[in-house]
Structure 1
Amino acid sequence: MEFGIRKMVQSKMQSYVPVCDLEQDSRPDGALVADGKTWGDFVSDVSKVRYYLEARENTPWILHCEDSYFFTVSLLAMLQSGRKALVTANRQDAFIKEIKKPEYGFLTDEPFTGDIAGMPATMIQDVLVSENVHCTDGDISREIKFGKFDKTKAEMVMYTSGTTGEPKAVFKLFMQFENELFELVKVFGNDWVDRKVFSTVNHHHIYGLLFTALLPIATGLPFCRYRIDFPTELANIAGAAAVVASSPAFLKRLAAEADKPIDFKCPPIIYSSGGPLPVEVAQKASELVGYWPMEIYGSTETGGIAYRQSKNGAVWKPFEVCKMSVAENGCLNIKSSYILEAEGFTTGDLVDLYDDGRFLLKGRSDSIVKIEEKRISLPEVENRLKQTGLVQDVRVVPMVGKRQYLAAAIVLNEVGREKFAGLPKLAINNYFHDYLLQFIENTVSPKKWRYLEELPQNTEGKIRMRDIQALFNLPESQNFKILKFRREPGALTAKLLFPATSDYYDGHFPEFKLLPAVAQVDMVLRLARNFLDVPKKLSKIHRTKFASPILPDVPVMLKVSYNADAAKVTFSFTSMPDAQGNEKMHSSGSFTMNPEESLG
């Protein structure tokens, strides 16, 4: 069976070779692997990192490289040398500290200021310069070390936020990835012929790992070394025949920001994973790029389960090797060749399962809550709000104050923004509240509302309930608006706006309003305490630089990080990135907090 599929795919693609079977002569030396890197370069670089790793004790290595080429080189070197690869979700100090042990190595491509568990990070660039191997144009003592490895013994660990939001280690044998790659090539492989792979997602998560690192290496397709961060950057690849691994978050921004179709040489193939993609966003993306996005449903634990294009309906079609059933709790259970457990894996997703194996997702099993003894489905409230035709995205979460209540975070679509332009927030709240009363009781209707440009997502592209709840735990203020934010372990990035009517500007200065330094410090502390669990008491303000003014009604980015060991908060206010991602510094600095207070 496998031989037949490989021959079939090879007839149209460059060649499909399982990653574990790659050898030095699997590709021509001059074949392009990534921007500026050939197969000969790749083989040589993997060999150099292998020599470096094998000269050290056989311990697990943490891997985090922003450059996709360096990441793939490092991962192959770890697998070929028998080292366990721990692929991090991010490289925040707090996260690395949670997973690092003294004996672990840490390989990265970016300077790392922390000295985690007694061992600093190793820069892959330094390894590639210091290690020498035999090359075609030189006679150097060490020979190339590149070849097959045993996929049934090669070990990896992926990290996911799981249902709690805390880092969860998911053990994988590389055999599971190879089995999934084989399925992906069977279903999508012929569509990828003569294309280049681009990405808007993180290759440290399973979807990005498969689509932007392993699939290109296995199929011989070149890939871009760096992520596309902004929808405006898609115009830069319009001349390429492209495959783009994307996410609902990126496609939502594309739908909201693009005002005309992008003139692609040929329509790119767009994939989306990490969460549900609203049909209206998929349709708008199709109008802009010429391809209706293909959605992939799965998780770190299960790999890819099913796929769909929502223009054909909401039903999901499973990959051939995925066998579906409904567990006792009504949730989807999957058994496949890339799930190790004989009993399969039961998700938290409620489903309707059809006789042909296709299924319809009905929401999360933890999405039914009780408000004053009345049961209510959170997805039901969300769907009712979407029925207004004014909402692009929404999350409804349970909150506890003096009593339990619901709160709704809403992203308006273009029609909604036009309808409510210039209206006070109370009028918008009342509109949605009154609409919901047609379908649900007042008791279970949301009592608090926030309107954002984008719902907060983690590095996996998932919207976590606890992040929405954290937003509502911060008292609303007329002095500032949070337009969007993203929270990671020990770090927060937020887009803020300070209205001209803000009290912060009173008297400072009447003729030319500037956001005072004390207001900036207050804003940093307010958000750090709410989102990062920073102690309440400020111990010391270190040197703080104020480079350029923050003006009324001009959005800015605030980046805050917290080092719990040093009780230190570091921040920067910058302008919004321009089309090239450049930012102007407004201010930066750091504080020391008093951690003893949090112990009292």
Structure 2
Amino acid sequence: MIALHDLLSVSDEVLTLAAPVCRDGGDVLDRAAFRARVAAWIAHMQSVGAQRCALCIDDPFDFACALFALFACGKEPVIPANATPGYLADLADAYDAMLSDADLPPFAWHASTKASAAANAAITPTHEQHAAYPIDPQAPLTLYTSGSSGSPKPIRKTLAQFNAEVHTLERQWGALIGDATMLASVPHHHIYGLLFRVLWPLAAGRAFDRALSIEPLQLQSRIAQCGASVVVSTPAQLSRWPALPGFASLTPAPRAFFSSGGPLALDTAQQYAAAYGAAPLEIYGSTETGGIAWRRQDETDAWEPVTGIEIRRDEDGALSVRSPHLDHPGWHRTDDQIACDEQGRFRLQGRLDRVLKLDGKRVSLPELEARLALHPYVAQAALVPLAGASRERVGALVALTDAGSAALRDEGRVLLARTLRRHLAGYVDVVVLPRRWRFRLSLPFDARGKLPASAVAAAFTARAEGMEVLAEARTGAEASGGDKLHYELRVPPTLVHFAGHFPGLPILPGVVQVDWAVRLAADHVPAVRAVASIDRLKFMAPVSPGAVLRLTLAHDAARRRVQFAYRLDGRECASGVIVYREPT
């Protein structure tokens, strides 16, 4: 191991400079190549007057070189969580200049060929290729994550903190990994990828792969060139791989699979244990704390603190950590709730805030709500986690403005949701965007003015009457006076009313359609519950299980009437008039 701040200052020892850094296809870029590339970046940085530079470089080798060039120049690297325009605009005050792949200085390195070496010498003089560049161990680095307040949260760390962590990782798993190449399906813009894919290999003198390996056949191709390997991935990727070709036949088998970004499903862990003799090594931690604990689910579902990490459970169940990876010697309180066991391990019991991990990406629900509220169609928004068949997703419950209601009426729910997804995609990674959408006139605040999470979640299930309300909007009636209510309703295939109506050809009974219209109208005009008669009732087309109906309700208060009309696939399928009694 070498200290990260010594990577550019150790003297030109053959063994040191020959240590592998990066595998680029069939080639190996060693520390000599790394230092030459850093020198090229330093020359480039000298023309950049900015002190704080945002690193938006997708290539991991060039990212690492640019990162250490910034350290060597005494500049502060800023690593945004993503490079979407809206997100970078929010961070505009956090950096003075941005470095992207388009800014890469020219460079070519193949130490085995004299021509390439000559080309390198022309770009970066030989005396600079191996020049010593001292780096301050306390050099600052800022990463961004989603804070519970809803805005990107800066996490300022020092190189010394990262150095402490990579030495911890080496003590914990260095013997297991040996000389294996680090293959990865994760980017390096977040702390997990930065540590495991780039910094740890750099300090340990083992290679990381330049390419991403996002499915088993790609892994096998890279293993064929690299030989011994370790895979750095996420629960979302690892859960997909067992069903893909080549999963159980990776040869030679990776020495370990690492997973972080959320809990790995037990059945997935068992599939890896069956195929490779051990479940993935799951890493639990955060950008603020670094790594805290680990587990292998073929051994236990409890988390064991990493060597040198102390944990405790606070009175409200919150996990607190004392770690050499922090910037202070005291306890750091997290927003995770835990239960401890007698062996000093712990189990997670949920969050105290509203920050989730989705497909390895950290997402703040308040942030998404605030972003949605910026759109002219949105009056208010509430987001809630929804447990799916295989992974957790987010549902968005949106109260619409008049403009949003008009868009829902004219374009429909699907196009409206697509518009709002595109709006959010300008700020956050697409994998954390809401997958399910519900539109309402208002959010379900209770009598105390609170918005219970249970009430928001209930919007994504069928009502007690059976129908599932996908969307609700109000628009002004043109000439009839009063307002019109517009609904999109899903007819659940499991609806009890289909039983016996009719055998072999289930059809939604007309009386149920009338009942739904009455109940929805009564939500806004309670007097409608006192039904006097149903007039001008017509049924023009059958409604099958799973159908999505569009319902319009037009209230005529002066005549105590509500006209309703159902449409299915653009055609009217039922209509009538609800006449209600005067209040007594």
User: 1:134, 1:141 within 8 Å by CA — same for their partners in 2?
Assistant: no
Task: Give the letter aligned to residue 269 of structure 2.
Answer: A
Output the CA distance in 2 between the equivalents of 1:470 and 1:298.
Answer: 30
Deviations 1:450-471 (A, max 9, x none): xxxx555xxxxxxxxxx43369
Task: Give the letter aligned to residue 490 of structure 1.
Answer: Y
- 1:160-175 to structure 2, matched below 5 A, reads 160-175=145-160
Q: 2:105 maps to which residue?
A: 125
User: 1:46, 1:146 within 8 Å by CA — same for their partners in 2?
Assistant: no
Select 1:147's aligned residue among 107, 113, 133: 133
User: 2:35, 2:129 within 8 Å by CA — same for their partners in 1?
Assistant: no
Cα shift at 1:285:
2.8
Q: 1:321 maps to which residue?
A: 308
Q: 1:267 maps to which residue?
A: 254
CA RMSD in angstroms, aligned pairs only: 4.2
Output the CA distance in 2 between the equivalents of 1:259 and 1:175.
Answer: 40
Q: Within the alignment, does 1:95 sit opposite 2:22 as a pair?
A: no
Gaps of 5+ in 1: 1-15, 112-122, 369-377, 379-394, 414-453, 457-466, 497-529, 531-600
Q: 2:20 maps to which residue?
A: 32
User: 1:44, 1:135 within 8 Å by CA — same for their partners in 2?
Assistant: no
Q: Within the alignment, does 1:20 sit opposite 2:11 as a pair?
A: no
Q: Within the alignment, does 1:158 sit opposite 2:143 as a pair?
A: yes
Cα 1:237–1:48 shift into 2, 3 Å: closer
Q: Within the alignment, does 1:298 sit opposite 2:285 as a pair?
A: yes
Output the CA distance in 2 between the equivalents of 1:363 and 1:489.
Answer: 29
Please give the TM-score of this superposition, normalised by the length of structure 2. 0.58
Cα shift at 1:233:
2.2
- 1:206-225 to structure 2, matched below 5 A, reads 206-225=191-210
Q: 1:462 maps to which residue?
A: none
Q: 2:222 maps to which residue?
A: 237
Select 1:359's aligned residue among 331, 334, 346: 346
Partner SS for 2:209: coil
Select 1:51's aligned residue among 34, 43, 47: 43
Gaps of 5+ in 2: 110-117, 357-362, 370-377, 434-469, 471-584
User: 1:279, 1:310 within 8 Å by CA — same for their partners in 2?
Assistant: yes
Q: Within the alignment, does 1:62 sit opposite 2:54 as a pair?
A: yes
User: 1:24, 1:147 within 8 Å by CA — same for their partners in 2?
Assistant: no
User: 1:133, 1:140 within 8 Å by CA — same for their partners in 2?
Assistant: no
User: 1:231, 1:253 within 8 Å by CA — same for their partners in 2?
Assistant: no
- Larger gyration radius, structure 1 or structure 2: 2
Cα shift at 1:489:
4.3
Task: Give the letter aligned to residue 42 of structure 2.
Answer: R
With 314-323 and 469-478 compared, the bigger mean Cα shift is at 469-478
Task: Give the letter aligned to residue 219 of structure 2.
Answer: L
Cα 1:82–1:286 shift into 2, 3 Å: same
Deviations 1:208-248 (A, max 9, x none): 11100001111111111122233442232343311111101
With 18-27 and 255-264 compared, the bigger mean Cα shift is at 255-264
- 1:500-511 to structure 2, matched below 5 A, reads none
Cα 1:480–1:309 shift into 2, 3 Å: farther
Q: Within the alignment, does 1:490 sit opposite 2:482 as a pair?
A: no
Task: Report the count of equivalent residues.
Answer: 389
Cα 1:320–1:263 shift into 2, 3 Å: closer
Output the CA distance in 1 between the equivalents of 2:122 and 2:382.
Answer: 69
Please give the TM-score of this superposition, normalised by the length of structure 1. 0.57
Cα shift at 1:180:
0.9
Cα shift at 1:481:
11
User: 2:71, 2:77 within 8 Å by CA — same for their partners in 1?
Assistant: yes
Select 2:395's aligned residue among 459, 468, 473: 468
Cα shift at 1:107:
1.2
Q: 2:333 maps to which residue?
A: 346
Select 1:412's aligned residue among 384, 389, 397: 389
- 1:548-587 to structure 2, matched below 5 A, reads none
Output the CA distance in 1 between the equivalents of 2:160 and 2:105.
Answer: 29
Cα 1:491–1:182 shift into 2, 3 Å: closer
Task: Give the letter aligned to residue 187 of structure 2.
Answer: N
User: 1:350, 1:365 within 8 Å by CA — same for their partners in 2?
Assistant: yes
Identity %: 27
Output the CA distance in 2 between the equivalents of 1:490 and 1:325.
Answer: 36
Cα 1:47–1:472 shift into 2, 3 Å: farther
Task: Give the letter aligned to residue 176 of structure 1.
Answer: Q
Cα 1:194–1:405 shift into 2, 3 Å: closer
Cα shift at 1:101:
3.8
Cα 1:470–1:24 shift into 2, 3 Å: farther
Cα 1:206–1:147 shift into 2, 3 Å: same
Q: 2:187 maps to which residue?
A: 202
User: 1:199, 1:224 within 8 Å by CA — same for their partners in 2?
Assistant: yes
Cα shift at 1:162:
2.9
Cα 1:44–1:472 shift into 2, 3 Å: farther
Output the CA distance in 1 between the equivalents of 2:218 and 2:350.
Answer: 34
Cα 1:354–1:70 shift into 2, 3 Å: same
Output the CA distance in 1 between the equivalents of 2:340 and 2:71.
Answer: 38
Partner SS for 1:125: coil
Output the CA distance in 2 between the equivalents of 1:217 and 1:185.
Answer: 11
User: 1:268, 1:291 within 8 Å by CA — same for their partners in 2?
Assistant: no
Task: Give the letter aligned to residue 320 of structure 2.
Answer: N
Deviations 1:307-341 (A, max 9, x none): 11011111111122211112232200001111124
Output the CA distance in 2 between the equivalents of 1:348 and 1:102.
Answer: 25
Output the CA distance in 1 between the equivalents of 2:309 and 2:40.
Answer: 38
Deviations 1:82-107 (A, max 9, x none): 11110121111111222234971211
Q: Within the alignment, does 1:334 sit opposite 2:321 as a pair?
A: yes
Cα 1:285–1:186 shift into 2, 3 Å: same
With 53-62 and 315-324 compared, the bigger mean Cα shift is at 53-62
User: 1:84, 1:156 within 8 Å by CA — same for their partners in 2?
Assistant: yes
Output the CA distance in 2 between the equivalents of 1:45 and 1:138.
Answer: 8
Partner SS for 1:147: coil
Output the CA distance in 1 between the equivalents of 2:202 and 2:321.
Answer: 28
Partner SS for 1:469: strand
Task: Give the letter aligned to residue 271 of structure 1.
Answer: F
Task: Give the letter aligned to residue 427 of structure 2.
Answer: G
Q: 1:577 maps to which residue?
A: none
Output the CA distance in 1 between the equivalents of 2:219 and 2:129.
Answer: 41
Output the CA distance in 1 between the equivalents of 2:50 and 2:413.
Answer: 54
Output the CA distance in 1 between the equivalents of 2:432 and 2:261.
Answer: 22
User: 1:198, 1:242 within 8 Å by CA — same for their partners in 2?
Assistant: yes
Q: 1:181 maps to which residue?
A: 166
User: 1:32, 1:39 within 8 Å by CA — same for their partners in 2?
Assistant: yes
Cα 1:481–1:488 shift into 2, 3 Å: closer
Cα 1:127–1:322 shift into 2, 3 Å: same
User: 1:323, 1:357 within 8 Å by CA — same for their partners in 2?
Assistant: no
- 1:378-457 to structure 2, matched below 5 A, reads 409-412=386-389, 455=392
Task: Give the letter aligned to residue 220 of structure 1.
Answer: G
User: 1:267, 1:291 within 8 Å by CA — same for their partners in 2?
Assistant: no
Task: Give the letter aligned to residue 158 of structure 2.
Answer: L
Select 2:69's aligned residue among 64, 67, 77: 77
Task: Give the letter aligned to residue 412 of structure 1.
Answer: A
Output the CA distance in 1 between the equivalents of 2:182 and 2:123.
Answer: 30
Partner SS for 1:157: strand
